[in-house]
Every structure is written in structure tokens, then in C-alpha cells.
Amino acid sequence: HDVKTGAMVVLPDAEAVAQHMAKWLTAQALAKKDGPFVLALSGGSTPRRLYQILASAEYRDRFPWANTQFFFGDERFVPESDAASNYNMVETEMLAYVKVPPANVHPMPTSGEPVQAAAQYQAELEAVYGGKTLEPGRPLFDVVMLGLGDNGHTASLFPRQPVLEEKKLWVSTCVPDDAPHTRLTLTYPAIHSSRHVVFMLAGAGKHEAFARVRAGDPAEPASHITTEGELIWLMDKAAAGQ
């Protein structure tokens, strides 16, 4: 357990990772008594199984849906009906099956100008936070879920992009030079304002990127993720290189 670079939890396979996360996330959400549980969901393929588990009989009636505010860590600037939309994935795997008040679900807006959509999303976060300035000791998120791309990107913080320099805005745009779609993404300062950041990784394909981030390679956007709370790496043996 290395406090600076984060606690590592290594489990046998992807299914065990998803099951562990479902259990841990539900416990965190149930423990939140002094306000809403504020969650930033990750997209990509890795968390799909987690969302299925949370919508299954075991969790559907136990997870505190009504006390949770669901935000997104990033989004492709495509309509919600597009197969590339993270919201679409979360909706079709989880939200469609559970009793969550519509007002608790915050898809990133994906129409009009991306810069304005980012500002609009920040305003939605400010409303839940109850302020426009992030205060140390009063985190914006209870949990930020993150994935890791081959090139070390996380959320939509892609290598070499100006968003990596963002110090003030909570939400920004990113136009990756090696991946399709303009993106909206939480910025480093927004992610930092969290009680927990959890990277979920599965499969041998993640190992090289993970090893570079773990070694602190500054070229990898994920190397610069920090939190005022606890950073957790939840992964299967293959991703950990075991």
C-alpha cells in the first residue's frame, strides 16, 4: 500500500474486478449520510460489466439510487443515441433498469458548441457542489471512476492536448489527435477534488500503460491524476502483469 501512488487491489480476473467494484461502490454510497453521493462514471468498455451487476437483482434494490448524483468523467461529442456515447452505454446497461430519479442523472451535453456545453456541465456540477470554487477539504466528488487507454489517457485527458494544462475550469473540451470525436472531460483540478479516485483496469492490454503510469512517466496523462482523498488501482492480474 503506497499512499502517494495509490493503493493497488489485484484480483484474479475482470469479473472479480467488476464484482469487487460493485460491492465497494455500494458500500461507499450507503455510507454517505450527510448529503448526496456524488459519482463520476467512466466510459469505455471496462466498466460495462460493473453497470450490469449494479442493475442486477443483487444490487438493484440495495444501491441508494435516489441519494446518488450520477455525473460522467468524459463524453464523446455525439448524440446520446450514438453507440459511441458513454451515456448511452450507462443508460442501456444500468440506468434503464433501476429506480433513479431523472434529476439525479447528468449526461454531458453534446449539442451546440463544445466549449459552451462544457461550461453548461460545469454549472450543473456547481449546483450540486453549492459553489463555484473548489474548497480543499470539501470534495466535489465522492468517487471518480477512471479507465486507462493504451496511450496513458484517462477520462478524455489525451496526450499533448491543451486540456492537460487546465488549472481552473472543471470541465473542458479535448480534440485527440489519435482518436475519433471531440470530447468533453473533467479536468485535473475537478478530479483532484474527490474523496476517492478509482482506476479500473482489466486485461493484459492494459499492462504496458499501467507500468508507465506506475513508474510516473510524465508523458502519460494518467500519471498526473491526483486526489485530495484516496487513489485506488483496481485491476486484474493480467493488467498488473502477474
What DSSP assignment string belongs to 59-82? HHTTS-GGGEEEEESEEESS-TTS
Shortest CB 214 distance to ligand 6PG, Å: 16
Q: Which residues bind ligand 6PG (CB under 6 A)?
A: 42-46, 74, 86, 147-149, 153-156
Query: 89: how many CB neighbours lie within 10 A of its CB?
Result: 18
- Biggest CA pair distance of the chain: 46
Q: Which residue number, 13 or 135, has a Cβ lying nearer to ligand 6PG?
A: 13
Are the beta carbons of 141 and 193 closer than 8 angstroms?
yes
Nearest residue (CB) to ligand 6PG, 36 versus 203 = 203
Q: Output the residue with the shortest Cβ distance to ligand 6PG.
A: 147
For residues 156 and 230, give the distance between their C-alpha atoms in angstroms, rounded to a whole number. Answer: 21
Instruction: Give Cβ neighbours of residue 26 (< 8 Å, ≥ 6 apart).
Output: 54, 59, 62, 63
Least separation, in Å, of the C-beta of 59 and ligand 6PG?
A: 21
* Ramachandran bin of 142, using left for φ above 0, alpha for ψ from -120 to 50, beta for the remaining angles: alpha
Q: How far is the CB of 154 from ligand 6PG (least distance, A)?
A: 5
What type of residue sits at position 88?
Answer: N
Beta carbon of residue 45, minimum distance to ligand 6PG (angstroms, whole number): 4
Which of residues 64 and 241 has its CB atom nearest to ligand 6PG in the complex?
241
For ligand 6PG, the closer CB: 16 or 32:
16
Between residues 48 and 60, which has the closer beta carbon with respect to ligand 6PG? 48
- Minimal distance, residue 85 CB to ligand 6PG, in Å: 9
